[in-house]
C-alpha cells in the first residue's frame, strides 16, 4: 500500500538476518503463549469500549439517511434543549481551518459540509450524560436534504453528464485519470499481448463480480477522549496505526501533535477496517468542547457505516494458452468501487494491478485496474487488499482454461507456476522462494475427507447426523440431492507497504537489572489487534538478549511510529525493528562487559559472544559473566528506526517498477457438499498450505492461516453488504442480515506450514496474515462449480445462484 510515495529519500535496509542464535527458552520458533491471554480470558483486558471515566459523557453521531443530497439546513435547537445534553456540534463548530481528513487524500469531511456523499455519513455530534439521551437528542436534529442523483457504478460514474462526487479535485491522481469520478488508474503492460494472443490455441474469457465484504471485527469502533489541562486531549482508542491517526486528528482539532496523546486500548479485531479514522476526531471535538471526558461506542448497526469495506469489483479476464497448457497471454480490466471517499483506494488499485496475474508466469500482459468514486459506501483496506478480488477471477479463469484444454486444473497451475527468479508483469524479479507448485502439490496430496461423512455407524446400521449436511439442523436433507465437489486455488500477495512508501518501524528496547534479574523492556507503537505481535516481540527479545523476563510496554505515541498493523507487515517490520534495537542493546551490553571484565579473560576480546540464559557466554559455551554483574545498576536504553529495503513507484503508464517488498503464497483445497435442490452449501474441509519463511510462533501462524481462510470462506458463500442500486442505501447493516461464518459453517482447516527462508527478511520470515484470505474464496467457488457444473461468476454464491430460481 502506498500512501506517500517518496522513493528517493529512503535509506537502504539494514541487514538483520544474522541472529546471535541464543537458545533462551521462550525465544523465536516456539509456540509461547500470549502475554495478554490471562487478561483476555478473565474479562479484565481493557478494550476501547471498556474505558470508563468519572463524570464522562457519551458521544453519539448523527448520520445521513440519504446517499447523495445537498444539506439545505440543519436545526439543532430541540436537540440542544434536551435535558442531559451538553453539546451538539455540526460542521460550523469545527475549530480549525482543516476540516477534512484521509489516509492519502484528505477528501473526507469530519462532519458533512453542504452535502452528503454516502448513506451513513456523519452530519452532527451529540454529547449527553447517557447514551440513550444522546441518541434521542440526535434524532431531534432536523436536517433538510435535497436529494441528488446517485453514482452507483462505472456507467453512471463516467457518463458524460455524470454528477461529480468530488468537485475541484487537486489530488495527485487527477492528472492521470480519464474522469474526475475515477480515483486512480494503474495499467501494467509488458510484452505484446496482442501478438502473443496469436500463438494461443485456446482462449478463455470471463466476467466476474466480487461482492462488498465487511471486516466485521467484533469489537465495535469506540474510545474515550479526555481533555487535559494544557488544552490538549488524551485519546484511548482501538486503531491499526496510532501515528497515522495522530497525523490526521491533530490538524482538525487545531492542536500540535504533541497535545494529542494517543494510547492504544484493547482492539477487538481490525482486518483493515481500522486503518481509517472513525470516532477519533468526533470524541476529541466533544471532549474539547465540553471540557469533560467523552466516550463513544458504535453499536453494530453504526459500525457497518463507521468503517470502510472491501471494494466490490467487476473484473474482465482473458487468458490464452498453447495446447500443451503454457500460458501465452493475459488481459484484464479490474473496476473497483471505492465509494464516496478515497480512503486506501489508490493503493488497492496498485495492488490489484500489480498482482492481477496471480502466481503464474505470463510474459505478455495487458492489465488495467481503476477505482471509482461513487455514492456507495466508502471502501478501503481489508485483509488481502486488492489481491483478493483479482485472485477470485484469475483462479476461476485457470479452471476454465483447464477445462478448455482438458487438463487437470492443478497440473495446469503447476505447469505455469511462478518460482524464485520469475519476472513479474511489473518487471520485478522474485528474489526469494516462491513454492507455488509445491503448495499445490501438498494440498492435493492430502487424503480426502470420507464420503458421506454425515453417516455414523451404530447398532442398527448407520444413522444420519444432519449437522454434517447442508442445511444442518434445519433438517432439509438426509443426503438426497447432495453432491460433493473439490476445488483448488492459489494466490499471490505482497507483504508490507509498497510503491516507494517509506515503510519503517520504531522500537525502544531497555535492558536493566530488577531484583537481581536481567529484564528487557520493549516499547513500540505497534497496534496489537489480536494477531499476536506482542507475543512475538517478547520472543525476539528473549532470543536476541538471552533473558527470560520481557516486559511489553503499552503502545502509545511516546515512541516513534510502528507503521500500520496491515499488509501482513508487523512481524516483518516492527519485528525487524525490535530485533534491530535488541542487537544495538546487546552490542552496548557486551561493550560494558568488555570494559569491566575484559582484562580478566581474553575471551572477551577474542571469542564470539552471546547473551544466553541471563549471562554473557562464548560461542563455545563458556560463561564469562552474569548480565546482572555486567549491568549492575546501569540501564541500556535504545530507540531505533528500522526499514526494509526500499520499493519503487509503478510507472503510471506501464506499471513497471520494483513495487513490492516481499511476496507471500498460500494454496487451498476445498471440499464441499451441495444440496443441489435447495442450493445450500456445506464446506466439509478447507485445507491450506502456506509458505511462511520462518514461523516465529507456530501456534499463532496456524491461527492466522485458519482465521484468514475463514474470512475467505465467508465471502464465498454468505458475506455481502447489499447496496440498493437505485438509492445507494445499505440494506443489511446488522449481523442478522450480514452473515459471517459461525462454527457450524466453518469446516476443519488442516494447515501445512512451509518454512523457506527469505534471505532479505528478519529471520527469513514471510508475512502470513493475508495470503490465506486470497485463495480460500476461489477454492470454495471451484468446488461448488465442480459439484454443480454451474459457471458461477460472482461471489458470494447464494442459494438462488445454484438453483436458478
Residues that bind other proteins (CB under 8 A): 26, 31-38, 40-47, 49-50, 52, 130, 132, 215-220, 266-271, 297, 299-301, 465, 467-468, 473, 529-532, 699-700, 702-703, 706-711, 734-736, 740-744, 746, 748-749
Q: CB of 731: closest distance to other proteins in angstroms?
A: 16
Rg for the chain (alpha carbons), in Å?
A: 27
482-495 and 504-514 beta bridge pairing: unpaired
Q: Cβ closer to other proteins: 18 or 41?
A: 41
* Euclidean distance between CA atoms 440 and 409, whole angstroms: 10
Q: CB of 216: closest distance to other proteins in angstroms?
A: 6
Cα 596 to chain center, whole Å? 48
Tell me the CB-side half-sphere exposure of residue 533, using CA atoms within 13 A: 34
Q: Cβ closer to other proteins: 520 or 638?
A: 520
Q: Cβ closer to other proteins: 297 or 391?
A: 297
DSSP per residue, 59-76 = EEEEE-SSSSEEEEEEE-
Q: Cβ closer to other proteins: 127 or 357?
A: 127
Q: Which residues pair with 585 in a beta bridge?
A: none
Q: In terms of C-beta density within 10 A (0-12 exposed, 13-18 middle, 19 or more buried), how is residue 93 classed?
A: middle
Q: CB of 514: closest distance to other proteins in angstroms?
A: 17
Q: CB of 729: closest distance to other proteins in angstroms?
A: 19
515: cell is 531484583
Q: Cβ closer to other proteins: 109 or 530?
A: 530
Instruction: For 134-161, give the secondary structure using H, E and C.
Output: HHHHHHCCEEEEEECCCCCCHHHHHCCC
Q: Cβ closer to other proteins: 267 or 362?
A: 267
Going from the C-alpha of 5 to that of each of 11, 198, 274, 647, the distances in angstroms are 14, 38, 22, 9
Q: Cβ closer to other proteins: 455 or 607?
A: 455
Q: Cβ closer to other proteins: 346 or 747?
A: 747
162: cell is 455524470
* Euclidean distance between CA atoms 533 and 36, whole angstroms: 11
Q: CB of 468: closest distance to other proteins in angstroms?
A: 7
69-75 and 142-147 beta bridge pairing: antiparallel
547 contacts 541 by C-beta, under 8 angstroms:
yes
Q: CB of 803: closest distance to other proteins in angstroms?
A: 25
Please give the torsion angle defined by the CA atoms of residues 679, 680, 684 and 687, in that order, rounded to the nearest 10 degrees: 70
Q: CB of 504: closest distance to other proteins in angstroms?
A: 25
Instruction: For 345-364, give the secondary structure using H, E and C.
Output: HHHHHHHHHHCCCCCECCCE
Q: CB of 649: closest distance to other proteins in angstroms?
A: 34
Q: DSSP class of residue 329?
A: E
Phi, psi at 526, each rounded to 5°: -65, 130
Q: CB of 776: closest distance to other proteins in angstroms?
A: 10
Q: CB of 753: closest distance to other proteins in angstroms?
A: 14
User: Which H/E stretch holds residue 623?
Assistant: strand 623-626
Q: CB of 313: closest distance to other proteins in angstroms?
A: 22
Nearest to 334 by CA among 383, 365, 359, 368: 368
Q: Cβ closer to other proteins: 268 or 350?
A: 268
Q: Cβ closer to other proteins: 32 or 426?
A: 32
Q: CB of 170: closest distance to other proteins in angstroms?
A: 38
Q: CB of 689: closest distance to other proteins in angstroms?
A: 15
Instruction: For 276-287, give the secondary structure using H, E and C.
Output: CCCCHHHHHHHH
Going from the C-alpha of 487 to that of each of 303, 391, 399, 686, the distances in angstroms are 34, 14, 9, 10
Q: Which residues touch 37 (CB under 8 Å, ≥6 apart)?
A: none
Q: CB of 301: closest distance to other proteins in angstroms?
A: 8
Q: Cβ closer to other proteins: 336 or 670?
A: 670
* Euclidean distance between CA atoms 714 and 731, whole angstroms: 18
Q: Which residues pair with 680 in a beta bridge?
A: 675
Q: Cβ closer to other proteins: 256 or 554?
A: 554
Angle between the N-to-C axes of helices 387-405 and 409-416, in degrees from 0 to 180, rounded to the nearest 10: 110
Instruction: For 515-551, give the secondary structure using H, E and C.
Output: CCEEEEEEECCECCCCCCHHHHHHHHHHHHHCCCEEE
DSSP per residue, 423-453 = BPTTS-B--S---HHHHHHHHHHSPPPPTTT
Q: DSSP class of residue 197?
A: H
Q: DSSP class of residue 646?
A: P
* Euclidean distance between CA atoms 526 and 555, whole angstroms: 6
- SS3 label, residue 617: strand
Q: Cβ closer to other proteins: 61 or 700?
A: 700
Q: CB of 669: closest distance to other proteins in angstroms?
A: 16
Q: Cβ closer to other proteins: 742 or 805?
A: 742
Q: Cβ closer to other proteins: 220 or 655?
A: 220
Q: CB of 318: closest distance to other proteins in angstroms?
A: 34
Q: Cβ closer to other proteins: 409 or 712?
A: 712
662-675 and 680-691 beta bridge pairing: antiparallel
* Euclidean distance between CA atoms 543 and 526, whole angstroms: 20
Amino acid at each position: 500500500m502506498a500512501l506517500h510515495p517518496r522513493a528517493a529519500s529512503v535509506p537502504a535496509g539494514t541487514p538483520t538476518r544474522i541472529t546471535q542464535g541464543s537458545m533462551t527458552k521462550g525465544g523465536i520458533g516456539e509456540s509461547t503463549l500470549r502475554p495478554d491471554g490471562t487478561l483476555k480470558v478473565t474479562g479484565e483486558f481493557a478494550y476501547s469500549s471498556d474505558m470508563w471515566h468519572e463524570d464522562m459523557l457519551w458521544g453519539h453521531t448523527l448520520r445521513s439517511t440519504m446517499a447523495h443530497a445537498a444539506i439545505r439546513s440543519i436545526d439543532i435547537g430541540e436537540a440542544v434543549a434536551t435535558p442531559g445534553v451538553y453539546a451538539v456540534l455540526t460542521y460550523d463548530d469545527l475549530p480549525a481551518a482543516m476540516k477534512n481528513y484521509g489516509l492519502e487524500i484528505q477528501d473526507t469531511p469530519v462532519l458533512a459540509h453542504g452535502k452528503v456523499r454516502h448513506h451513513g455519513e456523519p452530519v452532527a455530534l451529540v454529547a449527553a450524560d447517557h447514551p440513550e439521551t444522546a441518541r434521542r437528542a440526535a434524532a431531534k436534529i432536523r436536517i433538510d436534504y435535497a436529494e441528488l442523483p446517485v453514482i452507483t457504478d462505472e456507467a453512471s460514474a463516467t457518463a458524460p453528464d455524470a454528477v461529480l462526487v468530488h468537485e475541484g479535485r487537486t489530488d495527485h491522481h487527477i492528472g492521470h485519470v480519464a474522469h474526475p469520478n475515477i480515483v486512480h488508474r494503474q495499467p501494467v503492460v509488458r510484452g505484446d499481448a496482442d501478438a502473443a494472443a496469436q500463438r494461443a490455441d485456446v482462449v478463455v474469457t470471463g466476467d466476474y463480480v466480487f461482492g462488498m465484504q465487511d471486516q466485521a471485527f467484533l469489537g465495535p469502533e469506540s474510545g474515550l477522549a479526555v481533555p487535559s489541562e494544557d488544552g490538549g486531549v488524551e485519546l484511548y482508542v482501538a486503531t491499526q496505526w496510532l501515528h497515522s491517526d495522530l497525523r490526521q486528528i491533530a490538524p482538525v482539532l487545531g492542536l500540535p501533535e504533541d497535545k494529542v496523546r494517543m494510547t492504544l486500548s484493547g482492539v477487538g479485531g481490525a482486518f483493515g477496517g481500522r486503518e481509517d479514522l472513525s470516532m477519533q476526531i468526533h470524541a476529541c471535538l466533544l471532549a474539547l468542547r465540553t471540557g469533560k471526558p467523552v466516550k463513544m461506542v458504535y453499536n453494530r448497526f453504526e459500525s457497518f457505516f463507521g468503517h470502510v469495506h472491501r471494494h466490490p469489483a467487476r473484473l474482465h479476464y482473458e487468458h490464452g494458452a498453447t495446447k500443451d497448457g503454457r500460458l501465452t497471454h493475459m488481459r484484464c480490466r479490474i473496476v473497483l468501487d471505492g465509494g464516496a471517499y478515497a480512503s486506501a483506494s489508490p493503493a488497492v488499485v496498485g495492488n490489484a494491478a500489480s498482482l492481477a496475474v496471480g502466481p503464474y508466469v505470463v510474459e505478455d500482459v495487458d492489465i488495467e485496474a481503476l477505482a471509482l468514486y461513487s455514492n456507495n459506501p466508502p471502501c478501503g483496506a481489508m485483509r488481502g487488499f486488492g489481491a483478493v478480488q483479482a485472485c477470485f477471477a484469475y483462479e476461476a479463469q485457470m479452471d476454465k482454461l483447464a477445462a478448455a484444454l482438458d487438463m487437470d486444473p492443478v497440473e495446469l497451475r503447476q505447469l505455469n507456476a511462478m518460482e524464485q527468479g520469475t519476472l513479474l508483469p511489473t518487471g520485478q524479479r522474485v528474489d526469494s522462494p516462491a513454492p507455488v507448485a509445491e503448495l499445490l502439490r501438498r494440498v492435493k496430496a492430502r487424503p480426502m475427507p470420507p464420503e458421506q461423512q454425515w453417516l455414523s455407524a451404530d447398532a442398527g446400521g448407520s444413522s444420519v447426523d444432519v449437522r454434517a449436511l447442508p442445511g444442518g439442523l434445519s433438517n432439509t436433507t438426509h443426503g438426497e440431492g447432495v453432491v460433493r465437489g473439490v476445488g483448488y486455488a492459489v494466490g499471490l500477495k505482497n507483504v508490507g507497504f509498497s510503491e516507494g512508501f517509506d515503510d519503517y518501524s520504531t522500537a525502544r528496547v531497555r535492558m536493566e537489572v530488577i531484583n537481581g534479574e536481567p529484564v528487557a523492556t520493549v516499547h513500540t507503537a505497534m497496534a496489537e489487534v489480536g494477531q499476536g505481535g506482542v507475543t512475538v516481540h517478547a520472543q525476539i527479545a528473549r532470543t536476541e538478549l538471552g533473558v527470560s523476563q520481557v516486559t511489553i510496554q503499552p503502545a502509545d505515541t511516546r515512541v516513534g511510529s510502528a507503521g500500520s498493523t496491515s499488509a501482513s507487515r508487523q512481524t516483518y517490520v516492527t519485528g525487524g525493528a525490535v530485533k534491530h534495537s535488541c542487537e544495538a542493546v546487546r552490542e552496548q551490553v557486551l561493550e560494558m562487559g568488555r570494559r569491566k571484565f575484559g582484562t580478566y579473560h581474553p575471551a572477551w576480546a577474542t571469542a564470539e559472544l552471546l547473551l544466553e540464559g541471563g549471562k554473557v557466554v562464548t560461542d563455545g559455551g563458556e560463561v564469562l559473566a552474569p548480565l546482572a554483574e555486567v549491568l549492575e545498576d546501569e540501564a541500556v536504553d535504545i530507540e531505533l528506526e528500522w526499514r526494509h529495503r526500499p520499493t519503487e513507484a509503478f510507472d503510471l503508464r506501464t506499471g513497471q517498477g520494483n513495487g513490492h517488498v516481499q511476496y507471500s503464497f498460500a494454496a487451498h483445497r476445498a471440499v464441499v457438499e451441495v444440496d443441489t435442490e435447495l442450493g445450500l452449501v456445506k464446506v466439509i474441509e478447507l485445507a491450506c498450505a502456506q509458505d511462511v519463511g520462518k514461523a516465529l510462533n507456530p501456534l499463532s501462524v496456524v491461527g492466522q492461516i485458519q482465521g484468514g481462510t475463514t474470512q475467505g470462506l465467508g465471502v464465498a458463500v454468505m458475506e455481502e453488504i447489499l447496496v440498493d442500486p437505485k438509492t445507494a442505501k445499505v440494506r443489511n447493516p446488522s449481523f442478522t442480515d450480514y452473515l459471517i461464518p459461525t462454527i457450524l459453517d466453518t469446516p476443519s482447516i488442516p494447515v501445512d506450514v512451509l518454512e523457506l527462508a527469505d534471505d532479505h527478511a528478519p529471520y527469513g520470515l514471510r508475512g502470513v496474515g493475508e495470503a490465506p484470505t486470497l485463495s480460500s474464496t476461489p477454492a470454495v467457488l471451484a468446488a461448488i462449480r465442480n459439484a454443480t457444473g454451474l459457471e458461477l461468476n460472482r461471489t458470494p454464491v447464494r442459494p438462488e445462484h445454484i438453483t436458478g430460481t
